[in-house]
Chain A
Amino acid sequence: AQSVTQLGSHVSVSEGALVLLRCNYSSSVPPYLFWYVQYPNQGLQLLLKYTTGATLVKGINGFEAEFKKSETSFHLTKPSAHMSDAAEYFCAVSEGSYIPTFGRGTSLIVHP
């Protein structure tokens, strides 16, 4: 069975500061891992995904995430937050079945 835990339902940062959103997963097979972003009143948009190969994955809008098998983690980072990054972020894991399990989401708040 697969599961995802996102630590912190809310993360607050200042504009220009580092963004770190935490995600830990559980999977019985090598996982596929995803980060999605959801802006208000919109659907989810894929930020980045890890399937195989390089463990550091770069996505859109300057975000990246690193797959760490030993820590069962896939944390999302961005060096410098922008006001436009304020949104809900979801981590997800799938075991190749194409039906992913989503975390509960982390709301990113960016202060001026």
Chain B
Amino acid sequence: GAGVSQSPSNKVTEKGKDVELRCDPISGHTALYWYRQSLGQGLEFLIYFQGNSAPDKSGLPSDRFSAERTGGSVSTLTIQRTQQEDSAVYLCASSPPGIEETQYFGPGTRLLVL
């Protein structure tokens, strides 16, 4: 079946512009996560959605970062006024109900801020 998909796969933007990154989780998965992966670093947790509960935003690095999940499915991560240090791979993952500890990752969006 279809896995987690993310778009765009690559994004180049200028410093100060806003960007939107999209994640389509696996159908039926109730949990959705966003991570940031910088060169040579592990995965940095950003935000977690679970069903209709309020999202856990504890990992967002600044108020320039926000995310929403519409209809319990598709999620959009928005970065406002991008900075060069925002350049990274942004990974989305989803988990099925009952085994939320197992995450299925998308291929990521590679963001480059010039």
Contacts and interface: CB of A to CB of B under 8 A. Distances in A.
A68 B11 CA distance: 42
Contacts of A98: 31, 48, 50, 95, 100-101
Given A43-B4, A98-B48, A49 B102 contact: yes
Contacts of A22: none
A58 interface: no
Q: What range describes how many residues of A lie at the interface?
A: 20 to 34
B5 to A, nearest CB: 10
Nearest 8 pairs of A and B residues by beta carbon: A43-B105, A102-B43, A102-B42, A44-B105, A98-B100, A104-B42, A43-B107, A43-B106
Interface of B: 4, 31, 33, 35, 40-43, 45, 48, 50, 56, 59, 91, 93, 95, 100-108
